[in-house]
């Protein structure tokens, strides 16, 4: 099976931190702009709603929108058709990967047939993203997507990367908190109970930068638990007002390895990370290799 990096034409052990992103590509105008730009990945939100020209709200369909919005000028069908058309004629270096972020299980279930019929997931990198578990720091505001229904639905799609994570709560006022061992064990259990380890799907875990920076041991344990059955990477993300311990986050990134860490953060934080300079001289990566071998 081709890895995400391979389908984007990177080296066997690529620097995933160099991959660039466009976020919330939920309108026709923004999609056209991004397709003509230089980003590697297009991230977009899918919700159930109505097209703007559906004045009477008669056709409830998957649209490109982030809650609470229920109107868009771009449907999932239109989004996929345009990205596919672009990728079919693009040079290899310009092909766009897509990350489809589903905001409800209903939106995902209603999208399966559309994805099957409108997009080539075998040829072009396709991530299916959802927060399937409640996460750390007392997050109760956002309900996770039902994991059993999510995994049942995703089995109908070929060679997609599962981008599965936790709902989170964090802000500029937070400085403590981490992905706990209980969070990690629940994720491992959920993956195995639903046969995803047996299916061998590629998995990337979206982890919030400020929380992940405090969770090095837990991320190593998560990786080691699944790396023999699944191709495992992590996607570090952050909101603009998140408190982040930059030194700890750099240690996490270099310990796990640049070939396992996508970095999708605001420009200011990305500059602070200065990932072109490895202060650990490749010594940190030995920690994860030794830990997985020992376990």
pLDDT at 172: 65
In the structure, what pLDDT confidence band is assigned to residue 138 with cuts at 50, 70 and 90? low
Average pLDDT, the chain: 90
Average pLDDT over residues 79-103: 96
At residue 2 the predicted structure's pLDDT band, cuts being 50, 70 and 90, is very low
Which pLDDT belongs to residue 291?
Answer: 72
- Rounded to two decimals, the pTM is 0.91
**pLDDT, tens digit, 9 for 90 and up, residues 235-247:** 999 988 899 999 9
Q: What mean pLDDT is predicted for residues 99-113?
A: 97
For residue 100, pLDDT over 50 is answered with yes
pLDDT in tens, 273-290: 999 887 776 666 666 767
Q: Residue range 154-181: average pLDDT?
A: 87
Read off the pLDDT of each residue in 216-239 and give the average, rounded to a whole number.
Answer: 96
Q: Would you list the DSSP string of the chain?
A: ---HHHHTT--SS--GGG--EE----SHHHHHHHHTS--SEEEEEEEEEEETT-TT----EEEE--TT--EES-BHHHHHHHHHHHHHHS-GGGPPEEEEEESSHHHHHHHHHHHHHH--TTTS-EEEEEEEEE-TTT--SSPPPPHHHHHHHHTTSSSPEEEEEEE----TT-------HHHHHHHHHHHHHTTHHHHT--EEEEEEHHHHTT-HHHHHHHHHHHTTTS-EEEEEE--TT----HHHHHHHHHHH-TTSEEEE--HHHHHHH-TTS-TTTT-THHHHHHHHHH-
Residue 12: the pLDDT is: 45
Give the residue-averaged pLDDT of 255-282.
89
pLDDT at 6: 41
Q: Of all residues in the chain, what percent carry a pLDDT higher than 90?
A: 79
Q: What is the pLDDT of residue 211?
A: 95
Confidence (pLDDT) at 177 = 84
pLDDT reported for residue 187 = 98
Domains present along the chain, CATH in parentheses: 4-294 (3.20.20)
């Amino acid at each position: 099976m081709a890895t995400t990096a391979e389908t984007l034409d990177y080296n066997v052990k690529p620097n995933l931190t160099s991959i660039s992103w466009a976020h919330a590509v939920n309108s026709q105008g923004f999609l056209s702009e991004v397709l003509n730009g230089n980003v590697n990945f297009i991230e977009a939100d899918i919700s159930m709603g109505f097209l703007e020209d559906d004045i009477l709200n008669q056709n409830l369909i998957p649209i490109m929108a982030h809650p609470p919005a229920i109107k868009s000028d771009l449907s999932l069908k239109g989004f996929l058709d345009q990205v596919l058309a672009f990728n079919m004629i693009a040079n290899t270096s310009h092909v766009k990967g897509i990350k489809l972020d589903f905001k409800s299980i209903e939106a995902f279930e209603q999208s399966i047939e559309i994805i099957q019929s409108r997009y080539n997931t075998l040829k072009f990198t396709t991530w299916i993203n959802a927060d399937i578990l409640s996460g750390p720091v007392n997050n109760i505001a956002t309900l996770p997507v039902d994991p059993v229904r999510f995994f049942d639905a995703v089995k109908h799609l070929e060679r997609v990367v599962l981008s599965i994570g936790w709902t989170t709560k964090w802000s500029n006022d937070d400085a403590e908190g981490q992905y706990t061992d209980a969070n990690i064990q629940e994720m491992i259990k959920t993956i195995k109970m639903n046969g995803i380890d047996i299916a061998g799907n590629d998995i990337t875990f979206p982890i919030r930068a400020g929380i992940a920076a405090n969770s090095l041991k837990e991320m190593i344990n998560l990786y080691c638990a699944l790396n023999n059955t699944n191709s495992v990477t992590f996607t570090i993300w952050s909101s603009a007002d998140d408190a982040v311990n930059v030194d700890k986050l750099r240690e996490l990134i270099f310990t796990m390895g640049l070939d396992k860490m996508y970095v999708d953060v605001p420009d200011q934080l990305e500059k602070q990370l200065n990932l072109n300079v490895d202060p650990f001289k490749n010594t940190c990566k030995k920690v994860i290799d030794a830990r997985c071998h020992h376990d």
